[in-house]
Amino acid sequence: MSAVSDAVLTQILNQLQALQISQQTLQAKLDSLTLANGGVAAASPPQSPHRHVVPIPSRPQSETPTGTSTPTSSFTTASALSALSVPTQDADKAAIDKEREKLLYPGRVLLTTYPDQHGIKPFPLVWGASDPAVRGPVIPSRLPSSIKQRNALGAHSGSYSIYRALSIAMGALSPTHKPDYSKTEPAVDIPPQPAWSDPTKIVSFDPWGHLVPQVFKKEIEELGLDVRPSIAVTRAHMKMSEIDEAARKGDLKVDGKILIKSQPMHNADGSLSTADPGVEIVISKAAVEPVWYLPGVAERFGISENLLRRALFEDTGGMYPELITRPDIKVLLPPIGNLTVYIFGNPAYLSDESKELTLRVHDECNGSDVFGSDICTCKPYLTYAIEECVKGAQRGGVGLVVYFRKEGRALGEVTKYLVYNLRKRGGDSADKYFKSTELIAGVKDMRFQALMPDVLHWLGIKKIDNMVSMSDMKYNAIVQSGIPILKRYDIPDHLLPPDSRVEIDAKIAAGYFTSGKPITEADLVKTVGRTWEETEH
């Protein structure tokens, strides 16, 4: 009985699909004729409950690398895609997906373009111009309204652009969705600084990225270009158990402005708890996507722009061919992680040289920062820096923590864990610390801090009173960019996790800053980490 029922159900579904396709094809043709005559396409029917599919507006003719064009399918309305949303057998599903692919991408596969190709005219972009109207918007979009005026390669959202592509492929997102940026303006003011108009000071992101909807309103609304923010600025409260503990011990004082008392918590039964709710830090913060001005990035690393382009193309599996074929496009939005700025106190004080500024530049460490791994000092150092930022703000200054997504010294978490395995199996001593990384990755560090100071120049910082960091690479990059550092200090010994002494001693011997006794290469063999056998896993 079950087999008969399944066969009947399949037949009914196939018949239903055939009827829908027939009906919606006629509707699509009618919509196409209506649009061609300047009218408005008919409304689409209700979507299938089995699969969410968004409408895909008809696209104009697609440009090919040779400058010729190919006609688009007339089967390009919401109703057409709705007809393809009923699940059937594998063969039918493949056919449906093939048809959806044609609707989403009606032209030939466009691998690359060339500067002299017919119709291509990048929107003018003058990196470092003080007037945003002269500077121009950053446009990487391949939508029909913008593709011929693109002046940037890559895609917004960095590594998250891949999720956007998946969402479009699955039908959850329309590729032509137009964001509504009303009420999204920065929650705190980050005004233009002199460095914004110096093309050598900021090369790794767009300094106008948080003001895009305001300064490029004409390009978005009147010209119909797909221009998007690459920076967002907001306000929030920061809640950390370590800060709660510091307040309970009296290391931090509740002032009602920078550090405030948390609201009472609730018990499991819904009643108010009498337990100490702890404290919260009032902060401003900004998320910044990478936008690389290629000539400036190449200059920072001391290489030619051509070599930079070739390396980015070759060693990412040919990710963006236009790095090679479009030398006229000077901007790339790379698929890498972003950075986040956390401001403690008045953001306006960042550019005020009369105010005390405390800084930590922190590179991501998921294992320690989030999950509390004790093999490194990342979380306790970050927490200590936040406490110092709060204290500095309470003294009338301002604190700043910049958090970069550079997991595992930009080698990645997989490489980091492989190094952990090697260290624990090969004798985890400080003299082998960097050698273990080099054996696997070929280099001990790929963070290359040359681009890091850009965010400090974006905020108008002219001097740093207190730098909570031992890194010589970070210190040198900031000072060489023109920002003096008056004081730097290391993490106090009592905050070191049990298994992290190997890391700290190896870094000090390699040249990291320390206010204590210098460590020599001969001392490193004496610093040994915990073995796996010493604890259960």
Q: Which residues are catalytic?
A: 445, 447
Alpha helices in 412-453 (DSSP H): 413-426, 433-441
Q: Which residue has the tokens 């051509």?
A: 306
Q: Are 323 and 332 in contact (CB under 8 A)?
A: yes
Note whether 258 and 281 are within 8 A (CB): yes
Which residues, 6 or more positions from 526, have their beta carbon under 8 angstroms from its beta carbon? Answer: 430
What sign does the dihedral 370-375-379-380 (CA atoms) show? positive
Q: Which residues pair with 75 in a beta bridge?
A: none
R_g (Cα) of the chain, nearest Å? 28
- Report in angstroms the alpha-carbon separations of 298 from 12, 45, 303: 62, 53, 5
Instruction: For residues 223 and 234, give the distance between their C-alpha atoms in angstroms, rounded to a whole number.
Output: 28
Q: How far apart are CA 395 and CA 393, in angstroms?
A: 5
Residues 436, 537: contact at Cβ < 8 Å?
no
What length is written for the chain?
537
Best CA proximity match to 191, nearest among 211, 213, 216, 217: 211
User: Which H helix or E strand runs over 97?
Assistant: helix 90-104
Centroid of chain to Cα 430: 33
Q: Percentage helix, strand, coil, to 5, in the chain? A: 40, 10, 50
Alpha carbon separation from 275 to 26, 30, 265, 269, 534 (Å, rounded): 67, 67, 7, 15, 37
Contact indicator for 223, 121 with CB cutoff of 8 Å:
no
Query: CA-to-CA distance for 391 and 389, rounded, in angstroms?
Result: 5
Phi-psi region of 317 (alpha: psi -120 to 50; beta: other; left: phi over 0): left
Q: Report d(CA 458, CA 481) in Å as an integer.
A: 12
Place of tokens 């990196």: 127
Number of H helices, E strands in the chain: 19, 13
Find the angle CA(161)-CA(236)-CA(259) to the nearest 5 degrees.
Answer: 145
